[in-house]
Structure 1
Amino acid sequence: MTETVSGAAQVARQRGRGKGLKVERVFSTEGVHPYDEISWERRDVVQTNWKTGDTVFEQRGVEFPDFWSVNASTIVTTKYFRGAVGSDVREWSLKQLVDRVVKTYRKGGEDNGYFASPADAELFEHELTWLLVNQYFSFNSPVWFNVGTPSPQQVSACFILAVDDSMDSILNWYKEEGFIFKGGSGAGLNLSRIRSSKELLSSGGTASGPVSFMRGADASAGTIKSGGATRRAAKMVVLDVDHPDIEEFVMTKAREEDKIRALRDAGFDMDLGGADITSVQYQNANNSVRVSDEFMRAVEEGTKFGLRARKDNAVIEEVDARELFRKIAVAAWECADPGLQYDDTINDWHTNPETGRITASNPCSEYMSLDNSSCNLASLNLLKFLKDDDTFDAPLFAKAVEFIITAMDISICFADFPTESIGDTTRDYRQLGIGYANLGALLMAMGLGYDSDGGRAMAGAITSLMTGQSYKRSAELAGVVGPYNGYARNADAHKRVMRKHQAANDAIRSVHSHDRDVHALATKAWDSVIKTGEKNGFRNAQASVLAPTGTIGFMMDCDTTGIEPDFSLVKFKKLVGGGSMQIVNQTIPRALKKLGYQEEQIEAIVEYIGDKGHVIDAPGLKLEHYEVFDTAMGARALAPMGHVRMMAAAQPFLSGAISKTVNLPESASVEEIEDVYMQSWKLGLKATAIYRDNCKVGQPLSDGGSTAKQGVADKASAAAAAAEVKTVVVERPVRKRLPKSRPSRTTSFTVGGAEGYMTAGSYPDDGLGEVFLKLGKQGSTLAGVMDAFSMAISISLQYGVPLETYVSKFTNMKFEPAGLTDDPDVRMSQSIMDYIFRRLALDYLPFEKRSAMGIYTADERQRQLETGSYEAAAEELPEAESLIGTTNDGPAEGAIAPAKPVSVESASVHEAPKGVHTSAELMEAITGTAVDSPLCFTCGTKMRPAGSCYVCEGCGSTSGCS
């Protein structure tokens, strides 16, 4: 770490600046310490291993405000309290944690001339303390980890590195990344300066190219991650679209994903964090292509595009722009990488072009600035500023922004950095990243749809006010302690960008009274930015980003993270003393009241949502209000362009960009991904990433089978239909019982040393109709659970649930016992369920269906090695009559029996959600939570998305973002 450089107070005096800030009391109460305004309670924090039940963390008697959730106190205790557990120096109260941080910030402000008097410094301390303990905002995780401890005072979560076309620079890249990963942060860089594999070295040989060097960096990141960190290393790799190796770069992760599938099907553990995933390359980085306006116009026009040598910029190859764009979309369809970064848009909003271009971003793409720089983040909890009359308290929000920006700038005065060059750049340009969380919950509580003109206008106005107020305070700070060191050479460009933000604010068209007042205050803020900035300059080159807010979002008890919509309408709440309960989001009753519903109606709608997980056909809920309750997943999932349009509403008011993934259903086409990337460019986004459900083996995210948006896409016609009472024919599945005497097959098996027996009974026409499993002693809990499971599967099969549905859901399920089996066709198994349904697939599914799922017999795998094909030659095939799954006159295996029509005097009768066949799918439909989402490395809880990462609601661990 480099040493802290101080002395801002001396510089300010030399320049004849002001005498310090006069701090206004806004939040705290005069004569009362913020701690004394709230009630505190003691709690026990105990975490157990999700596999073994062993206690992995225990700290009893920790102290938190009584309104903090159990989840929030658990995350803070396990993540942020410092000192060895059980020792005298271990922190045990939130007061100690907040004091450790806030008092360090106060001292930094006093030492560097920020405050007019000691009284102002004390008031600043109280205001900041009040905001933190009342969950109005939070600093990013490195602040809680490091500030006020003997550790280096690293406060930044986001880093951008640089690498040149030399071996010294490449090796230094590995080293610098390693130190950043060790400290729990992430880094990004652009590799486009490295010569391509199509260019010559000075010695006459051919260059290796950037993709080859990515392997070494990826291995380094994976090693550091496995050396004790609780999450994967976070990194971003960017390559310019005109680099000659761009096609190889585009396909790297897609090809590796093919390997992952092949290894998974061979029985290897390829889940996120699995034992065998480390054998696959490029899994520790997000990849992005940096595209230019020239390239995007060539895609539109269908013309050629030149790939250029790194040394002399000469065109060494021309490619069809549309074909290259198509390859990018195909790769993203296959594995979610690469995303796009729009270079000309990014640099058009750059405040420091005289210093250098912006070439890269941090791992989540929200921080974009100079090479060898870092950014300190903090996020506000928007729902805290919603008043009792359901209007947004814009003046209070603006005051909070002032305090937070001041604190963030002070942190740069005492912060340490992982390299000298990063420290120099950060102190010279003082980049900050204020942002917010809980936008989705705020809009719902205000009765505004996320994908609506009103929702976007509100989000745009809030974002404009946040950034305008931040730069206003930055200009005021410049009058006290001086502008950033790089301001003089970039003054004209910085002021030009401020005018661009102001023009974007003036272009906001208010939709409701909700956003009109916020927009008016934002307009005043931008007027002050221009006037005060002209006089004083600015203290900070950048002010705002929208980060994922994973762990800190839980610390603030936010319902939604960053700019994201609500994930689902039903969540699991952790209870004091252990356990959890399923509850309907508490924002929903408030939203319904705002929309004009009475208490009795609200109770009925909430009860319906708790049962179904969605609002479709909720009693008394008007069709025009459905959009208010649209979510990222589940029955009424937002359309992909709904995400893009929301990002476009906020982007013109951010110094940086937005960490967010555009979710697409599994059925999405390559053309839809192309459209998302193209429209993102046209709408002025700086970066876009997509995720298609189930496109990755290691970290799948299912869209959840549910009743979706059927019947409500055309709201006008749906409303007319709902008003009309008519006879509706509802098709119901009919149970097809097995005959008294039926053929069956009994299989003994061993999985990881555990022995069991499976008996499968079938219809005379050869379709599977029942499964019986015997494990453990008769009368034991395990035997009882397996009996119940067998009964549920058997009845479902008889009602027509296809066997392949179960095979797709239960194969690759991982839990103990697992390991070697005694079955030559299934040599390795990740669990008993994995084995059972692979065996059933081999016994009862035709080759075409199971081969699509990668399930083959030992003979078929051997045949593929010898001939290149799994299929037998024609002369090897058995007679058609004996093929599994073929029938003469009965229904095929798993077919649904003919439905009986039912006459119902209602227009709103629904059976189980369409596409829902299993209990697993039903759970997805109810909660919107992916049943096959990645498991948390720490506690085993299913994770959920936060920006372009995943975050655990149980313990706060993330898959790569702070």
Structure 2
Amino acid sequence: MRRVFSSAKAHPYDKVQWTTRTVQMKNALGEKVELANLEFPDFWSQNAVQIATTKYFRGKIGTPEREYSLKTMIDRVVDTIQTWGEKFGHLATRREAQIFADELRTILLHQKAAFNSPVWFNLGTRPDPQCSACFILKVEDDMMSILDWIKTEGVIFKYGSGAGVNLSPLRGCREAIATGGKSSGPLAFMRGADSVAGMIKSGGTTRRAAKMVVMNIDHPDIVDFIKAKQEEERKVRAFMAAGYNMADLNNDAWNSIQFQNANNSVRVTDEFMRAVEHDGEWSTRFRTTGEVAETYRARELMAMIAEAAWESGDPGIQFDTIINDWHTAANTGRINASNPCSEYMHLDNSACNLASINLLTFLCDDNTFAVEDFRHTVRIMILAQEILVDGSSYPTPSIAKNSHDFRQLGLGYANLGAMLLAMGHAYDSEEAAAWTGALTALMTGEAYRQSALVASIIGPFPGFEVNREPMLGVLAKHRAKLAEIKAEHLSESAVLAAAKDAWDGAVIFGKEHGVRNAQATVIAPTGTIALMMDCDSTGIEPVFAHVVLKQLVGGGYMKIVNQAVPRALKTLGYAEKEIEEIVQWTEEKGTVEGAPYLKEKDLAVFDCAVAPSNGKRSISWRGHVRVVAAAQPFISGAISKTFNMPHETTPSEIMESYMLAWQAGIKAFAVYRDGSKSAQPHVTVSGKGGSQQPAQQKLKLEPNKRSLPRTRSSETHKFSIAGHDGYLTYSIYEDGMPAEIFIRLAKQGSTLAGLLDTLAISVSMALQYGVPLKALADKYIYGRFEPAGVTENPEIPIAYSITDYIFRYLALRFLSKDELFELGIGDYPHNADLALEVKALPDAVVSSEKDTAPKSPSHRVVFADTVCRLCGGMMIQTGSCRTCLQCGMASGGCG
């Protein structure tokens, strides 16, 4: 054990400048609470401060037990790990223990790496903390086993983690049971488990429960499983057509939509994929007898999967043969399932604790990579995670036994996309693939090398001898894959040389001593912890957008350009003046497209996961496949990744992507087609306009203006949209309805002032001549243009434009609940008749365009999880989960 980041002469905390910060958060009652005098380093952004304070600081607010300093939070975790390391024999001497603790403290303090959320939630707060984020459960074709599965999931969710299970052992709905009837089938039990998950907030208060349900392609109920979420998505469309606002995830209507707490994946074998290739047949088989249930064209089943994913984003695909070919404990049992985000894949009834390294912190100013610092960080984090295995608690004895016998770890990384951007490499490029492969190889090679060294001191994992052949065989396969990295596309040779050295050590020491951990690395989505590390991209993902909202210390937000953009421009050789103008253009337009001085050949470097609102470019799904394929041969487990596809993608193209992913050796593949989720803020209610025609006819014939007295009542409402403050003043008639409005922004140019004045005059005239406020609101709400973003109004947490905010505010202030319901905002009445009518809607309401998707959609469809249910911020895909860019709320259990 040696010091790299710390010094024996000074405490890690003494080397940084500490500042006091203030954070606003909501208590259990939903009330705003201001926490002042919080202690954080000066280089931590306000957003990272907000994440740490609201998600990970422990103790009841207002009590002495409440954490108010990052020092306390880090010490709580590091001190516990150090104590356990000494207790379990990992840290042999007091000096070694102190060096380890100082190095780990420095790594966490400087945002070089972070543990998964359950460690921050639970470590040091209770004697038996649950520290693993990922669990894989087992269920058998027995009622007690099914009930135990649901109970165990609930316990896992309670402490902030996620779980996956393969339901293929359960008999199909057409199979008989002992009492003479028919089985309920897996989907019936899925509904029950999904409802339980929906009732439990993961980690107590801050996260939604996360679950994965897997079914093998030969199960007799596979067609129902494939279509399960597709059918629920059609229900969402039906509710929207009936007038329900399904953009609000807190709307009670969502309680009628099933399977919303789980990611679904179909397990396919190489045999099935070859049948698809050659247009062969595929048979499903009854679980009780093994007899053929149905025979399909393999392509027919694959087309069903592609069509369902096109329409709803589910199911994903897991390539069973590839997964088990890389299995390190194959002699103990096969891999049947994964965690919710599909990065942890190992034995049933097992667990994995995760951590992620912030790659960008190892990129030096001259764009060289700090190889030895990175290797040291891997060693420290692997040792810390290994110690956590023995100190953690587990929800069942069988999970505890497998966790101790196989000691699965999941070290990964975040900020790859931002690092590639800073280096001037397009995400979809040979250079990006080479760097991804080399860095991933270095990480996993060093992790297994460290695992073998730990094994030389305290022994290999107990299941090693039984699995010596598959374990060492997989290590050899990893090392052999180094030859496929294209060294000519690396700007420096040190990374690949270090990777070869690490893998040589892993294989040699592994043969001599065994390894301490059956699994060492995965790439998780890293949603919340990536934000706490101030990452500009999560997991293996590319940069999501170049213009982001930055939280300010004094409250509010401002738009800033991603910090990697100017660095990339400098790397590409642009002058300072050119960089300034390109950055200014990007901030104003939201895209680099059309920026002055920017060369056409450099545009690809700045491509993001999705096209910006004012741009057309985005990374091709093939580019995503290329990067994941480069990393997968060097990862113990799998990779959680969103394969983004544009709105106009067809099911046929999705089917093609499945074939390419399989051929590339990827273990898990899930697509998100832009706009595949139909729930969106703007709800058009059919049949509501007819009653307005007589009123409009009357206005034409009798244009009577309703005058205001010289002295009239008025109210002024202050608002803030993405840091832009403004004031809305409205005069009120004696009957309580609005008569005129005035709009003023705190900072505005003459053009914007003139436009707002013109709008206010037009609206005031309309109100005075009898145009209903509801009719005006219907035209203006949800219109999209800048400034847009987070507001300070809990009733309107996010505004899509100034006019959107103003008319939603006026509607909430003056209209009835029934009128709000018809507009698709506010609280909604429970209407049993309307709910019943949903079932009787014609097929046209729920039909999808499939292969005839429009090439140029007139608007960008916003799927339900775009808006965070806690703060109203933007939700982005992080692997198979979604994470809020503002508050860090995650829909999964892997961050």
Q: Same fold (TM over 0.5)?
A: yes
Partner of 2:666: 685
User: Aligned match of 1:86 in 62, 65, 82?
Assistant: 62
Q: Match for 2:16: what amino acid?
A: I
User: Aligned match of 1:945 in 877, 880, 890?
Assistant: 877
Q: Which runs of 5+ in 2 are unaligned?
A: 683-698, 707-731, 746-755, 767-776, 785-798, 846-854
Structure 2 CA distance, aligned partners of 1:677 and 1:364? Answer: 18
Q: What SS does the corresponding residue of 2:670 show, helix, strand or coil?
A: strand
User: Aligned match of 1:368 in 331, 345, 364?
Assistant: 345
Question: Could you tell me whether the CA contact under 8 Å between 2:865 and 2:882 is conserved in 1?
Answer: no
Q: Aligned pair in 2 of structure 1 residues 82, 293: CA closer, same or farther (>3 Å)?
A: same
Question: Could you tell me whether the CA contact under 8 Å between 1:269 and 1:275 is conserved in 2?
Answer: no
Worse-matched range after superposition: 692-701 or 587-596: 692-701
CA offsets, 1:509-552, max 9 Å, x none?
11334353211110111111111000000000000000011111
CA offsets, 1:395-414, max 9 Å, x none?
21111101110111011121
Q: What SS does the corresponding residue of 1:276 show, helix, strand or coil?
A: helix
Partner of 1:437: 414
CA offsets, 1:555-579, max 9 Å, x none?
1111111001001111111111111
Alignment of 1:477-876 (within 5 A): 477-514=454-491, 516-633=493-610, 634=612, 635=615, 636-698=617-679, 777-778=738-739, 788=759, 828-831=822-825
Partner of 1:895: none
Question: Could you tell me whether the CA contact under 8 Å between 1:302 and 1:320 is conserved in 2?
Answer: yes
Structure 1 CA distance, aligned partners of 2:605 and 2:440? Answer: 20
CA offsets, 1:247-279, max 9 Å, x none?
011111111111111112212243333222011
Question: Could you tell me whether the CA contact under 8 Å between 1:700 and 1:934 is conserved in 2?
Answer: no
Q: Aligned pair in 2 of structure 1 residues 120, 672: CA closer, same or farther (>3 Å)?
A: same
> Is 1:46 the counterpart of 2:27 in the alignment?
no
Superposition deviation, residue 223 in structure 1:
2.0
Partner of 1:380: 357
Superposition deviation, residue 33 in structure 1:
0.8
Superposition deviation, residue 227 in structure 1:
12
**TM-score, normalised by the number of residues in structure 2:** 0.83
Superposition deviation, residue 618 in structure 1:
1.9
Alignment of 1:265-280 (within 5 A): 265-270=241-246, 271-280=248-257
Q: Aligned pair in 2 of structure 1 residues 861, 381: CA closer, same or farther (>3 Å)?
A: closer
Q: Aligned pair in 2 of structure 1 residues 867, 632: CA closer, same or farther (>3 Å)?
A: closer
Structure 1 CA distance, aligned partners of 2:329 and 2:539? Answer: 26
Q: Match for 2:396: what amino acid?
A: T
Question: Could you tell me whether the CA contact under 8 Å between 1:661 and 1:948 is conserved in 2?
Answer: yes
Alignment of 1:182-193 (within 5 A): 182-193=158-169
CA offsets, 1:336-357, max 9 Å, x none?
1100000000000000011110
Structure 2 CA distance, aligned partners of 1:450 and 1:135? Answer: 23
Structure 2 CA distance, aligned partners of 1:269 and 1:666? Answer: 22
Q: Aligned pair in 2 of structure 1 residues 776, 464: CA closer, same or farther (>3 Å)?
A: farther
Question: Could you tell me whether the CA contact under 8 Å between 1:863 and 1:870 is conserved in 2?
Answer: no
Partner of 2:728: none
> Is 1:206 the counterpart of 2:182 in the alignment?
yes
Structure 2 CA distance, aligned partners of 1:272 and 1:695? Answer: 16
> Is 1:36 the counterpart of 2:14 in the alignment?
yes
Structure 2 CA distance, aligned partners of 1:867 and 1:317? Answer: 31
Q: Aligned pair in 2 of structure 1 residues 688, 87: CA closer, same or farther (>3 Å)?
A: same
Q: What SS does the corresponding residue of 2:675 show, helix, strand or coil?
A: coil
Structure 2 CA distance, aligned partners of 1:638 and 1:231? Answer: 30
Alignment of 1:215-226 (within 5 A): 215-225=191-201
Question: Could you tell me whether the CA contact under 8 Å between 1:819 and 1:829 is conserved in 2?
Answer: no
Structure 2 CA distance, aligned partners of 1:866 and 1:243? Answer: 31
Q: What SS does the corresponding residue of 2:481 show, helix, strand or coil?
A: helix
> Is 1:251 the counterpart of 2:245 in the alignment?
no
Worse-matched range after superposition: 367-376 or 276-285: 276-285
Superposition deviation, residue 229 in structure 1:
3.7
> Is 1:59 the counterpart of 2:35 in the alignment?
yes
* Bigger radius of gyration among the two: 1
Question: Could you tell me whether the CA contact under 8 Å between 2:582 and 2:597 is conserved in 1?
Answer: yes
Q: What SS does the corresponding residue of 1:602 show, helix, strand or coil?
A: helix
Partner of 1:880: none
Q: Aligned pair in 2 of structure 1 residues 318, 556: CA closer, same or farther (>3 Å)?
A: same
Partner of 1:956: 888
> Is 1:163 the counterpart of 2:157 in the alignment?
no
Q: Match for 1:454: what amino acid?
A: E
Structure 2 CA distance, aligned partners of 1:329 and 1:268? Answer: 28
Partner of 2:438: 461
Structure 2 CA distance, aligned partners of 1:218 and 1:94? Answer: 36
Superposition deviation, residue 935 in structure 1:
2.1
Structure 2 CA distance, aligned partners of 1:618 and 1:598? Answer: 14
Partner of 1:451: 428
Structure 1 CA distance, aligned partners of 2:285 and 2:225? Answer: 15
Alignment of 1:227-376 (within 5 A): 229-270=205-246, 271-376=248-353
Superposition deviation, residue 226 in structure 1:
10
Q: Aligned pair in 2 of structure 1 residues 540, 864: CA closer, same or farther (>3 Å)?
A: closer
Question: Could you tell me whether the CA contact under 8 Å between 2:817 and 2:828 is conserved in 1?
Answer: no
Superposition deviation, residue 951 in structure 1:
1.2
Q: Match for 2:872: what amino acid?
A: G
Structure 1 CA distance, aligned partners of 2:531 and 2:202? Answer: 25
Q: Aligned pair in 2 of structure 1 residues 791, 571: CA closer, same or farther (>3 Å)?
A: farther
User: Aligned-pair RMSD on alpha carbons?
Assistant: 3.7
Question: Could you tell me whether the CA contact under 8 Å between 2:55 and 2:206 is conserved in 1?
Answer: no
Structure 2 CA distance, aligned partners of 1:778 and 1:700? Answer: 27
Q: Match for 1:680: what amino acid?
A: A
Question: Could you tell me whether the CA contact under 8 Å between 1:242 and 1:306 is conserved in 2?
Answer: yes
Superposition deviation, residue 316 in structure 1:
2.6
Structure 2 CA distance, aligned partners of 1:791 and 1:102? Answer: 62
Partner of 1:26: 4
Q: Aligned pair in 2 of structure 1 residues 787, 150: CA closer, same or farther (>3 Å)?
A: farther
User: Aligned match of 1:405 in 368, 374, 382?
Assistant: 382
CA offsets, 1:60-114, max 9 Å, x none?
1110111111111111111111111111111111111111110111111111111
Structure 2 CA distance, aligned partners of 1:746 and 1:861? Answer: 41
Structure 1 CA distance, aligned partners of 2:5 and 2:703? Answer: 72
CA offsets, 1:391-440, max 9 Å, x none?
11112111110111011101112111111111111111000000000001
CA offsets, 1:564-609, max 9 Å, x none?
1001111111111111111111111111111111111111211121
CA offsets, 1:118-157, max 9 Å, x none?
1111111101111110110001111111111126311101
Q: Aligned pair in 2 of structure 1 residues 860, 559: CA closer, same or farther (>3 Å)?
A: closer
Q: Match for 2:25: what amino acid?
A: Q
Q: What SS does the corresponding residue of 2:174 show, helix, strand or coil?
A: coil
Q: Match for 2:641: what amino acid?
A: K
Structure 1 CA distance, aligned partners of 2:659 and 2:84? Answer: 46
Worse-matched range after superposition: 505-514 or 350-359: 505-514
Q: Aligned pair in 2 of structure 1 residues 745, 138: CA closer, same or farther (>3 Å)?
A: farther
Structure 1 CA distance, aligned partners of 2:702 and 2:661? Answer: 57
Structure 1 CA distance, aligned partners of 2:330 and 2:500? Answer: 26
Superposition deviation, residue 744 in structure 1:
10
Partner of 1:197: 173
Q: What SS does the corresponding residue of 2:353 show, helix, strand or coil?
A: strand
Structure 1 CA distance, aligned partners of 2:172 and 2:86? Answer: 51
